[in-house]
Structure 1
Amino acid sequence: MTSVTKLFFHRLYHEWKYQLSVWRTVVDWTVALYLVIPTLGYAIKTYFDWWKVQPAWISHIPFTYFAVIPLIVILRGDVRVFVEEADQLFLFQLDGWIKRLRKLSIVYSISLNFAINCLLFSYLAPIFLLYYKLPLIKLIIWCFSCFVLKTIVGLSKQVIYLHFYGWRQGLARLLTFLLIGGYYRVSLFFLNSIISSIFAILILLILPIAIPLYQEISKNTSFLKDVARAQTMKLRYVSLIMRAAFIYKRKSRPLTINKRPWIFQRSKPLFKERNAANLLTEACLKSVIRSETHLVTYGQLIVLCIAVIWSFPLDWKWALWLGFAVMLTKFVELFWQETKNSEFVKLFPWTTGDYSKAASKAIPLVMLIGFLPISFAFGILSYSWSGAVTLLIVGGVVGYFIAKVVVALS
């Protein structure tokens, strides 16, 4: 390549080509013809219909719910740096190429964030403008603020990855998300209550934060980490597809001294009767509860379900409560499939009947770990403490029954 710009666009082209080839393994012509194209057509038709007549269901959804959608997009912000391992042999010999390649990558990531935000707010514009009566100028400022926050989140993730390790990295990311989420909530208050100029001032106050983050990422002191993170981001959709197909194999990690699981530290038997179904059930339970990743993921889903129940009217709460029982069961099935397909479990000659009995026992038990807190929260939010205790008991019975039925029908 004769210039950094040509090299960057060459890698960008091959990046998009690679990601397209990844999705082609899932979305073949039949899926595209019968699922993707009709879905896109329906989404476009719905968008134009929203400009004409507002749907009836929108009256049951508070403004806060639609405001959460941009926040989710903000927290998904990231920076893609297009560096490769071979660059340390060739590009380091060329003055400033690596640094300029980083800057072009950051500019591309920021531009992509801007395009995503514009697309999102353009699609939601008829709802915000026509139903919630939000002035156009405030919608534009809101869109721009989300773009700024998404950019800061992406730059912060990169800096945190370069400078923090282990639990400190997770804590730094959590604090970043809390600060951004809190700022976003304050911004929404000004958006709905005070004139847009004050809201714009808040944006200007946070905008300079991006400058030192940008300068930190542009340095040449973190090349190998940039390469590792670039490979992770390149393969994230591959990992997602492989997990969905249950062919993903987790890399073995070295043992960490003085690090114990939160529960079942000594791995004692959970069931007195030692048969195949109980052993598989025990393996599934322990693999979930002893895994920090599984617990955090499950906990996030539980908190989200409680937040949804809290926001809706009482009639909707009952329907959502039953729907969450089904949803949690299907979610827990992913944990069961991971246990079932683990290398250790496959070492033993289990029969189809063993797997079936274990699934009907393990999935409802793991599902209740999440459904009972949701039932308790539902009761205390709607019927005070007496309702919380009652729904905790009823939720255990109903949740177990629903999970059994869902597993039997799967």
Structure 2
Amino acid sequence: MTSSGNNSAARAWTIRRLFRKRVARFWKEQRQVWGTVVDWVVLCYLLFPALIGGVVYAGWWADPPAWMASAPLWAAQLPPMLLAVGARFRTFAEDADMLFLVQRGEWRRGLLLYGFAYTAAGLAVPGLLIYALLLPVLMGVHGMQLSHVALLLAAAWSVSLAGAVWRNRIHGRFRGWRKEACIGAVNVMLILALLLPSLLSAGAQAAAWLGCALAGVGAALLLLRGKLRQDGDFASDVRLEHLARLSGTALLVRDVVQRKPLIRLDKPLVFRRSQRLFRSGAPSVVLAESALKSFLRQWLMIRYWISFLSLGLFAVSQSPLFAQIALALGIPLLVNMMIQNHILNFAGEAFVRQFRWEDGNLRKAGERLRLWLVAPIALMLGAVAGYDAFGFLGLMAGTLLSAAYLWFVNNLTSAFGRLRATRSD
């Protein structure tokens, strides 16, 4: 009876069910990996460029900047080129397949076909996103019809799909410099296939893109046919799948893991000594000063701060008035949250906690630090938005309104901190 149950369970497994289970497990692993580092603070940092990008995108439709009008059509093909040279053919092969699936040709071919369909669908998503972002350039500046944009998308998608299968086959057949040379040659061919139709006259571009799309689909199917008949690249497929599964983890730890066990004595860029910055010896001033030096000694925090400032100024200068107001209000709020998170982490360090700071001193130190680090960004954004809309008088008004808004946000953050502390007690 047990044997019959095992046989029925084995018959219940199909190629589709096996492939679906492997895909679900892959995405579950990726969700668990990213879940270890993504919290609400990180989501706020990710929301910031998305907010700026959305506002700038809307501004491009309403009023395209001058540099966009002078951009050639072939420049719009640069993002799809990155997709074409970076696409991967996912086979979802595993080491244990050597025991059974390699011996069953129909199962191996079935998984390859499902992997081909998965790769094609996966490449369509970033392709749609890329060309959706390029619509202000393609349609607003170059006056392309939506059908021509669809041909561009089809060409980029088919060329990327063919390149993914082609590079997979090269990995299975060559090693060393031959493999790198072949992959480089393939990437050059893919780039030329996407670039050359954009250099033709306007009347011949549509036919060239259609031919490129059809040629890409044909090449992808021919390469897939050869892949189905080729039996000696199973080890290569397993190795490539290991790299694909570990790509998320490698991205997260690229700045954490030391590649070489070298002893490095790094010094901060600023405040290498423990000199005082302010004469006042008030506890809140001393704590705020120490937190400020801790912030400026961390290149990652400085990079975040500079990114908020530079991207914010760029977005405000390229956006209409309603978007400028939204950015001038939203960006200082995000920076305020970042600084508040820094002061809380700093106050929670063991060396700082041993001095037993009073709650009033912590609150005043947080107010000072937020004022020092948020004020430059808030005032500059308000000044740029006001000057762009109303000239010199707008600059003065924008600066004053930003100062008042900063004072309100700073006090609101302190009040929220006191309320949270009261509830915790």
Shorter-chain TM-score bucket reads: 0.5 to 0.7
Aligned to 2:39: 28
CA distance in 1, matches of 2:235, 2:72: 46
In the superposition, the TM-score normalised over structure 2's length comes to 0.55
CA contact (8 A) 1:138 1:191 kept: no
CA distance in 2, matches of 1:217, 1:102: 8
1:11 equivalent in alignment to 2:22: yes
Aligned to 1:83: 93
Cα deviation code 1:120-145 (max 9, x no counterpart) = 11221122101221222221111110
1:242 equivalent in alignment to 2:256: no
* 1:248 CA displacement: 5.1
CA distance in 1, matches of 2:193, 2:104: 42
Aligned to 2:75: 65
CA distance in 1, matches of 2:266, 2:58: 51
* Structure number with bigger Rg: 2
* 1:206 CA displacement: 4.5
CA distance in 2, matches of 1:43, 1:209: 36
Match of 1:228 among 202, 224, 239: 239
- Equivalent position amino acid for 2:28 in 1: K
Equivalent position SS for 2:184: helix
CA distance in 1, matches of 2:136, 2:18: 41
Aligned to 1:42: 52
The structure showing larger relative contact order (alpha-carbon pairs under 8 Å, at least 6 residues apart) is: 2
* Distance change in 2, residues 1:212/1:201 (3 Å): closer
- Equivalent position amino acid for 1:130 in 2: G
CA contact (8 A) 1:70 1:146 kept: yes
Q: Map residues 135-214 of structure 1 onto 2, 5 A cutoff.
A: 135-190=145-200, 192=202, 194=204, 196-214=206-224
CA contact (8 A) 2:74 2:195 kept: no
CA contact (8 A) 2:166 2:223 kept: yes
- Equivalent position amino acid for 2:223 in 1: L
- Equivalent position amino acid for 1:161 in 2: H
- Equivalent position amino acid for 2:61 in 1: W
Cα deviation code 1:199-254 (max 9, x no counterpart) = 42343344422222112222443222211111011112222222222x054xxxxx
CA distance in 2, matches of 1:63, 1:198: 14
1:54 equivalent in alignment to 2:68: no
1:129 equivalent in alignment to 2:139: yes
CA distance in 1, matches of 2:213, 2:104: 39
CA distance in 2, matches of 1:190, 1:56: 24
* 1:28 CA displacement: 2.1
Number of equivalences:
258
* Distance change in 2, residues 1:100/1:220 (3 Å): farther
Equivalent position SS for 1:78: coil
Equivalent position SS for 1:86: helix
* Distance change in 2, residues 1:169/1:49 (3 Å): same
Aligned to 1:292: none
CA distance in 2, matches of 1:27, 1:46: 26
Q: Map residues 84-123 of structure 1 onto 2, 5 A cutoff.
A: 84-92=94-102, 94=104, 96-123=106-133
* 1:60 CA displacement: 5.5
* Distance change in 2, residues 1:114/1:236 (3 Å): same
CA distance in 2, matches of 1:152, 1:215: 12
CA contact (8 A) 1:113 1:151 kept: yes
Aligned-pair identity (%): 20
* Distance change in 2, residues 1:95/1:180 (3 Å): closer
CA contact (8 A) 1:129 1:136 kept: yes
* 1:42 CA displacement: 3.4
Equivalent position SS for 1:146: helix
CA distance in 1, matches of 2:68, 2:210: 29
Cα deviation code 1:98-130 (max 9, x no counterpart) = 221121011100111122212211221122101
* 1:190 CA displacement: 3.2
Equivalent position SS for 1:79: coil
* 1:157 CA displacement: 0.9
* Distance change in 2, residues 1:35/1:191 (3 Å): farther
CA contact (8 A) 2:89 2:165 kept: yes
Between 152-161 and 119-128, report the one with greater CA deviation.
119-128
CA contact (8 A) 1:81 1:102 kept: yes
* Distance change in 2, residues 1:207/1:95 (3 Å): closer
CA distance in 1, matches of 2:148, 2:200: 10
